[in-house]
Structure formats: structure tokens, C-alpha cells
Amino acid sequence: MAEILGIDVGGTGIKGAIVDTEKGVFITDKIKYGTPQPSTPESVMVVINQMIEDFNWKGKPFGCGFPAIIKNNTCFSAANIDDGWLMKDLQTFFFEHTDSQVTFVNDADAAAVAEMRFGKGLGRNGTVILVTLGTGIGSGIFLNGQLFPNSEFGHLLYKKSVFEHYASNGARKKKELSYKDWAKELNTFLNHVDLLISPDLIILGGGVSKYFDTKFGKYLEVATEVVPAAMGNDAGIIGAAMTCQEALAS
Ligand code: BGC
């Protein structure tokens, strides 16, 4: 059994669990801390080290989903995280602070990796996009089983800024929108995505996806099939651990 710690750093929360990467399930309880504000590298490392202690994981490799563009373990954007992370070599920085070899992946890409292997993407070919609806909007695209990383569709231009400022779950809360009004914005976003990449399946993730059937799914009108994620908010942790496991095996 491959057991790896997965940590999902988000704009609002930092979540982690030890994952059985062959089954895609947690083998410990999930632990969640608030993301420190401001979310400077130093303050986030305090939380990460606390988590390492909670899971007794000192010095062992782990996977980390991060809410930014990640290329070769370097952070290339900072929309929902402090600017201090910009252009940081995450692997070196984490190693200096944790003594662990850490593998990084964009948080939405991590969630997509898990949903494709164990969730609603299982057995689906063609173009599948997972959209995470959290503090921001993340996107993870798979084409014929292969990840196309860092798609960042939440940052497509819309109205006075970008889609994630109108259609994320964070925007729904901040603007105190009803599910119906929020779903109008989400619907515009999903139709835009549909036009851009003509996916075969759209999976909606993030914690709010559990209300798809009861609160907002009925307001969406998209030509392509739209389904709620099977793994909700846990997919990011599981995908981060899977990405680490793959890196260790290669
Ligand atoms: C970031 C993405 C991230 C998404 C969800 C966006 O603001 O740019 O990298 O995937 O938030 O956390």
C-alpha cells in the first residue's frame, strides 16, 4: 500500500491527510487549518510544519497542491496567496523549512488527477475539465487521460476583472448572492469554457459541489454534460499525494 501525505494549500484553508494512493482514500482523518492572513511564505510554513507534526511525517516526502501556476516546482502566480510566493522555488524553500522532499502541483490540477482516476472522470476519454469552485476558480484539463497543466480558466477576463471574482464560491459568499443569482454567473463561465475547448465532460468540484443537486445544478444550461465531483473537497489532497507518489516512482 502506498501511503503518502497530501496537503492542499488554498486561499482560505490548508488541508491534509495521509492517502492510500492506490485506492484514492484517506487513511487518517483530514486536518484543516485556516490559511494565515496575510499568507506569507513564512506564516504558511508554520502551519505546514504543524501539520507535519500532526501526521508524524518529519523528513518524509509529501505532495502539495498549491493555488498558483506551478512549473518545475516554481510558483508563477499569486492570485489567492500572498505575493511573497511569486517566483519562489517551492521545492528548495520547503526543503529548507521541513527537511522533506515535496512535489508541487496546481491545486485544481491535483483535484483533476484524483477525479480522473477515482471519481467522475474514471473511464472518460476525450476532453474532461474539472472546475474547482472555492475561494477562486481553478481548472484542470485532461485530454485522453493526459493532464494539460496550469490552464487557469478562472482568470479569463470577465466584466471588470476575471471570472473567479464573479463565479467562484468565494464571490457568492462575499457578494451574498442567492444560489440562483450566483448560478447565472457560473453558467456564463461554463458556457465560455464550453466554447473555448468543447469538452466532453465538465466536472464541478470544491466544497460547494455537494449542493449541485439541491441548490444550483438546476439553473445551469450548458450543452455539455455537467456533473458534481465525486470527491468534493478531498480531491485536491488525494491528487497531491498521487502526484508525489508518481514522482517518487519515476
Ligand atoms: C489560481 C489558480 C487556482 C485557483 C483555485 C486561482 O486564483 O490562480 O492557480 O487553481 O485559484 O485555488
Tell me, what's the pLDDT at 68? 97
Residue 31 has pLDDT above 80, yes or no: yes
Residue 26 has pLDDT above 90, yes or no: yes
The CATH number for 101's domain is 3.30.420.40
- Asked whether residue 197 falls in the same domain as residue 178, the answer is yes
CA-closest residue to ligand 1 atom 10: 138
Tell me, what's the pLDDT at 250? 87
Q: Is the CB of 152 under 6 A from ligand 1?
A: yes
* 117 in any annotated domain: no
Give the pLDDT band (50/70/90) at residue 10.
very high
Percent of the chain at pLDDT > 70 equals 100
Give the pLDDT band (50/70/90) at residue 195.
very high
Tell me, what's the pLDDT at 43? 98
- Asked whether residue 93 falls in the same domain as residue 13, the answer is yes
* 161 in any annotated domain: yes
- Asked whether residue 224 falls in the same domain as residue 245, the answer is no
Which residue of 80, 85, 148 sits with most ligand 1 atoms within 8 Å of its CB, as the best mutation to test the pocket?
A: 80
Tell me, what's the pLDDT at 1? 63
Distance 50 CA to ligand 1 centre (A): 24
Q: Is the CB of 107 under 6 A from ligand 1?
A: yes
Considering its fold, how many domains does the chain have in total?
2
Ligand 1 atom at minimum distance from 68 CA: 9
**Domain that includes residue 213, residue range:** 123-229
Distance 61 CA to ligand 1 centre (A): 24
Record the pTM. Answer: 0.97
* 114 in any annotated domain: no
| CB-count exposure of residue 144 (10 Å: 0-12, 13-18, 19+) | exposed
Q: Is the CB of 80 under 6 A from ligand 1?
A: yes
- Asked whether residue 93 falls in the same domain as residue 151, the answer is no
